[in-house]
Amino acid sequence: MQAHAIDLPGQPDRNQLAREGRINELQILQAQQNRRAFQAEQQRQREQDRQIVVPQVQRLEVPVMKSHCQIEMFGNISRRVCR
């Protein structure tokens, strides 16, 4: 889809500005129309991005080795015994 510049009511006609040699006003009008077209394109792209469904990444189940160590207490001293 292409954005087209349109003349809004109450705004001077581009051809009339060119004929009268009002170049600054013509450039201002063109800049405004370019901004509107750019904003419309950005909005269209954002809407398109919202419609794209991002696939969910599945978390793989990773096996975990459990420790078979026990802590043995001898008074105030502890020691790990692994088998």
- Indicate the residue type of 72: E
Give me 52's structure tokens.
Answer: 């794209």
Residue 63 domain flag: no
Domain that holds residue 9: 1-55
The pLDDT of residue 24: 79
- Looking only at Cα atoms, what is the longest distance across the chain? 104
Q: What pTM did the predictor assign?
A: 0.43
Residue 44 domain flag: yes
Residue 81 domain flag: no
The pLDDT of residue 76: 81
Q: Domain tally for the chain?
A: 1
Query: Quick one: pLDDT band at residue 36, thresholds 50, 70, 90?
Result: very high
Query: Quick one: pLDDT band at residue 1, thresholds 50, 70, 90?
Result: very low
Segment (H or E) for 36:
helix 23-51
Residue 30 domain flag: yes
Residue 73 backbone phi and psi in degrees, to 5: -105, 130
For 73, which DSSP code?
E
